[in-house]
Amino acid sequence: MQIRRMTENDLGIITHLEQLLFEDPWQRKSFEFELNRNRYSICLVLEDKGRIIGYAIVWKIYEEFHIANFAIHPDFQGQKLGTYFLEQLLQYAGNARYALLEVRESNLPARHLYKKFGFKTIMKRHYYYRNGETALVMQKIFEKKKTGT
């Protein structure tokens, strides 16, 4: 199992997985923008023996580490790989002060996962999704790193 940077060659499978996993899937051009144009973006895949098991897009914007997209392949869900991948992903936060994300209110597996990592709901965005569903804005504040002596 390894984590590596996403490339354009991955976008065929990733956009296919998006269709399977999300009600409002990102289009290929959105991933292309993240890969090629968005200087705040970190695009990663979780891979095992050449097979894409998961993927994530995060925006590192100064003090904020924003998880914009995060998913595990349907065939591999429920095996703690989401837990593993999120743990690894948070290592990329560097000096960010907090991590932030939006999640559908109905998405109990994801909410459970984020809660396990210390994310707390700080706000609700009503009618955020196309079907009118509410988004929960969840935040995890990082502990200050101890400096020097």
Ligand X SMILES: CC(C)(COP(=O)(O)OP(=O)(O)OC[C@H]1O[C@@H](n2cnc3c(N)ncnc32)[C@H](O)[C@@H]1OP(=O)(O)O)[C@@H](O)C(=O)NCCC(=O)NCCS
Name the closest residue to ligand X (Cβ): 82
Nearer to ligand X, 117 or 142 (CB): 117
105 has catalytic annotation: no
Annotated catalytic residue: which of 18, 34, 55, 114?
Answer: 114
C-alpha triplet 20, 31, 61: angle, nearest 5°: 120
92 has catalytic annotation: no
Q: Give min distance, CB of 38 to ligand X, in A.
A: 19
- CA atoms 28, 30, 31, 32: torsion sign: positive
How many residues bind ligand X, per CB under 6 A? Answer: 20
Please state the separation of Cα 24 from the chain's center in Å.
15
Annotated catalytic residue: which of 47, 102, 105, 133?
Answer: 102
Q: Give min distance, CB of 148 to ligand X, in A.
A: 36
Q: Give min distance, CB of 96 to ligand X, in A.
A: 18
Task: Give the number of other Cβ atoms within 10 Å of residue 81's Cβ.
Answer: 17
Length of the chain equals 149
Give yes or no for a contact between 98 and 140, defined as CB atoms under 8 angstroms apart. yes
Distances (CA, A) of 118 to 32, 53, 83, 147: 31, 24, 12, 23
Whole-angstrom distance, CA of residue 131 vs CA of residue 24: 9
According to CB under 6 A, which residues from 68 to 127 bind ligand X?
Answer: 70-72, 77-83, 101, 103, 107-110, 112-113, 116
Q: Give min distance, CB of 32 to ligand X, in A.
A: 20
Residue in 3, 13, 15, 21 binding ligand X, rule: CB under 6 A: 21
Positions marked active-site: 102, 114
Give the residues lining the site for ligand X (CB under 6 A).
21, 70-72, 77-83, 101, 103, 107-110, 112-113, 116
